[in-house]
Chain A
Amino acid sequence: GQSLEQPSEVTAVEGAIVQINCTYQTSGFYGLSWYQQHDGGAPTFLSYNALDGLEETGRFSSFLSRSDSYGYLLLQELQMKDSASYFCAAHTGGFKTIFGAGTRLFVKA
């Protein structure tokens, strides 16, 4: 079957750097997206990787290695407002998007 694995929880300190990993097993893989969701809110798009390598958007960066079926989201200079759930999402054949179960990030002061 098609699935994505990511850690259920990560805790980090304000100002630190945290990496959220995602491994995927899909058919017809086209790329990996990342979404942020605050409690009670809508998932919001953060980044998309179609090619291997690092994509940087401000404090957030996302990495993809297609040969390893692996990606990660890197959050730098953590702020309290970054406390949220983070989902990786794989884009597969037929334009279907498969989401992981999400990683809950707790940022401590």
Chain B
Amino acid sequence: EAGVTQFPSHSVIEKGQTVTLRCDPISGHDNLYWYRRVMGKEIKFLLHFVKESKQDESGMPNNRFLAERTGGTYSTLKVQPAELEDSGVYFCASSQDAGGYEQYFGPGTRLTVT
């Protein structure tokens, strides 16, 4: 069984540019989560999809962030325009259980905004 995959693994962009991150969850996992970790700090919740619907997007920092999940399969997270404080590692996770008690994480995308 393939794990959660994320693309790209690294991205370096300039302030004001746009970046789109992609996540492919484990096949059959209806629940998909996005998180961000800034160096040394907590893994911060961004949002939660159940299939193609946003269950909870209370962690999204502002309207520069847009997440979609096409057909309930892969998900994208777009940052437009990027700001310096958006730098960090963006993790995607998926789970079978609705409570998210056991989540499977992808390797993350390290985003650097210069």
**Is there an interface contact between B99 and A30, defined as CB atoms closer than 8 Å?**
yes
The complex places the Cα of A91 from the Cα of B101 at a distance, in Å, of 7
CB distance from B18 to the nearest CB of A (A): 25
Which residues of the partner chain B approach A87 to less than 8 Å between Cβ atoms?
A: 42-43
User: With an 8 A cutoff between CB atoms, is B25 at the interface?
Assistant: no
Task: Give the interface size bracket for A toward B.
Answer: 20 to 34
Q: Kindly supply a per-residue 1/0 record for chain B positions 48-74, scoring 1 wherever the CB is within 8 Å of any chain A CB and 0 otherwise.
A: 100000011011000000000000000
Which residues of the partner chain A approach B112 to less than 8 Å between Cβ atoms?
A: none
Total interface residues on B, CB under 8 Å, equals 29
Within 8 A of A (CB), among B4-48: 4, 31, 33, 35, 40-45, 48
**Is there an interface contact between A42 and B40, defined as CB atoms closer than 8 Å?**
no
The complex places the Cα of A101 from the Cα of B35 at a distance, in Å, of 13
Which residues of the partner chain A approach B56 to less than 8 Å between Cβ atoms?
A: 94-96
Which residues of the partner chain A approach B42 to less than 8 Å between Cβ atoms?
A: 4, 87, 98-102
Within 8 A of B (CB), among A20-58: 30-31, 33, 35, 41-45, 48, 50
Which residues of the partner chain B approach A4 to less than 8 Å between Cβ atoms?
A: 42
Which residues of the partner chain A approach B35 to less than 8 Å between Cβ atoms?
A: 99
The complex places the Cα of A94 from the Cα of B47 at a distance, in Å, of 11
